[in-house]
Structure 1
Amino acid sequence: MTDVRPSAPRVQAQMPAQAQVQGLMLQARQARERSDFTALAAAAEALLRINPREPQALVFKGDVLSAQGDHRSAMSFYGAALAQGRAVVAPSPELRAELQHAAQAQAEGALRFEQGLRDGLAQRGFDPATSSPRFAASLDLMTGRRRLYYQQPKFYMFPGLPQVEFQPRETVAWLAEVEAAAPAIRAELDAILAEPALFAPYIEDRANRPQSDQAGLLGNAAWSAVFLWKDGAEVPEVAERCPQTMAALAAAPLCRIPGRSPSILFSKLQAGAKIPPHNGLINTRLICHLPLVVPPDCWFRVGGEERRWKAGEAWAFDDTIEHEAANDSDQDRTILIFDVWKPEITAEEQDLIRALFATIDASGSGAPKLGV
């Protein structure tokens, strides 16, 4: 039988090395406590010569660089320490403390960097309220104040389209005509609101699809709707009652796909209700909102941008980018919703997309309804 135990000389060689590391660790902590950064630097360098990936030694090195005013280099060492520390299965209490220190130092460094950046940009003329919104968004992304979101359609992805959360207003100029008709549309809505039984839960149970809870909204009147058009077909008994609403949409490039779109509806979100984060099905269209009955404390988020609805002020957004809504007031919120083609989709491409869904239907594959 072969004895695989390490030989005595090897064990003896390991023990002084471990003792040396522990001694250097102690020296480093004591040096840091008395703000002796020369001694701390010597201990950190000695530890890193033994193991360049030692997490605690990387923290010590970061502290030395921070004390010298080289915050950018310090951040790199703190980041390396945190990365190495994550790989340790059972960190010691000392290591956990050093990693917490590194994380705090990194957060403080990030704030210091951001403040310096914003102060410097302000001195050079940047004003987040009036300067380029795209540049302001890029600054938020760079400093971690904003997360980057992408189109994630659940059914059909058309490549090459801009990744835009809220559509730039100049590309949907016809929205001004819809806004101009807001008082007349509101009057038609008021007549609909006088008949609460017309509203039905927006999330319906479909017999040809598996039932899912939809975050508690399936069959729930907390989010309800009255459709003027639904899945590409007019609902005449409602549309005929809303001629001003339909006339206001005459110039809108409605997304027409037989059996699927457009959908035009009055959407009501009850007081206290929330629509959880979700993504739409196809990225070739925009969803439009015209707020009509909007109490305070109602908000809507698309990707990294949150907005408040204001009565009569419309917008268009990409619903394949994660979005959510909430009515934090004590009153119901009601808006007009409809879907349009994205301006980048050509007439030929619109025809081809219609042909695609017609082919799917003819095959019996049963693509999902699009909704809004």
Structure 2
Amino acid sequence: MSTPVNLNTIRQAPKVLLHDHLDGGLRPQTVIDLAQAAGYSELPHEDAAELGNWFREAADSGSLERYLETFAHTVAVMQTEEALARVAAECVEDLAADGVVYAEVRYAPELFQDGGLTLDQIVQAVQDGFREGERRVAAAGKRIRIGTLLCAMRQNARSTEIAELAVRYRDAEVVGFDIAGPEAGFPPTRNLDAFEYLRQQNAHFTIHAGEAFGLPSIWEAIQHCGAERLGHGVRIVDDIKVDEDGSVHLGRLASYVRDRRIPLEMCPSSNLQTGAARSMAEHPIGLLAKLRFRVTVNTDNRLMSHCSMSGEFAALHEAFGYGWEDMQWFTVNAMKSSFIGFDERLELINDVIKPGYAALLG
């Protein structure tokens, strides 16, 4: 007999996360602790519950630019090796507690140099934190693996430098590269040198595209830059027409994305906050999943969106009636689309994900 679907049972399901920002997932109490240690006095609240609510409300503006402003506080308290390692280790613990078995967590090393750290010191501190978190989880009898994505900020001019950094650490579980930050005015083609270098090095990369900006952002990311995945990609729905009788017509770009199985790193709660969708029930993920795009479900920023993978699945269950088979489909999509080796992906799908859902399906 199938296990009932609710938030508690969803936490038991094995989940895969491809789009999660390290500086967007801190525990509120950790923000407070690190601010005190750093002498940072700009936090709006000193109580963890109130601070957590503030982050969510400040991010609920409907504007991507306003949403990004909340990161000023988290980035400010993550300027030492000790702070970076602590945040990384706690990230692993929190994801594992939510049933995540594989995650690719991303951050922009260039944002953490205000205290004088080198890029290599930053990456090493985060990797040390991730490995410590994995050890703690294993000691508690659970399993999780973390891969790292290094981001370049698209409004700056350091993408090739960060791409080289990602390649330098790819044997230390840095599995790929990304560009992040405001889309409008900063098209992905500003970073062509970085993407060409990554292709030459047989390295993996995803690109934030089609979140706050429309189809041109997606088209450039794929056709000019060669993105393997699309960070968000929600605006691909603008190239899909649904008639009154329910018949669906895909434009050439939408057809290409679906036919090539280009993964969409969709983040439902975050999209509602930044105005990319008006409500969960109206989120394009419903149509895109129905049309069998390579859809994945992600958190984006767990602190700002006050969300978790289990919470995202629970919200989609309520909005679209998704059950265990749908959640398994999203999870296998994500695992297939990850940047680790084929054998490793297959082992997690066959030995962890499918058995986990089989137990819930009864």
Q: TM-score when scaled to structure 1?
A: 0.20
- Identify the structure with the greater helix proportion: 2
Of structures 1 and 2, the one with the larger relative CO (CA 8 A, separation 6+) is 2
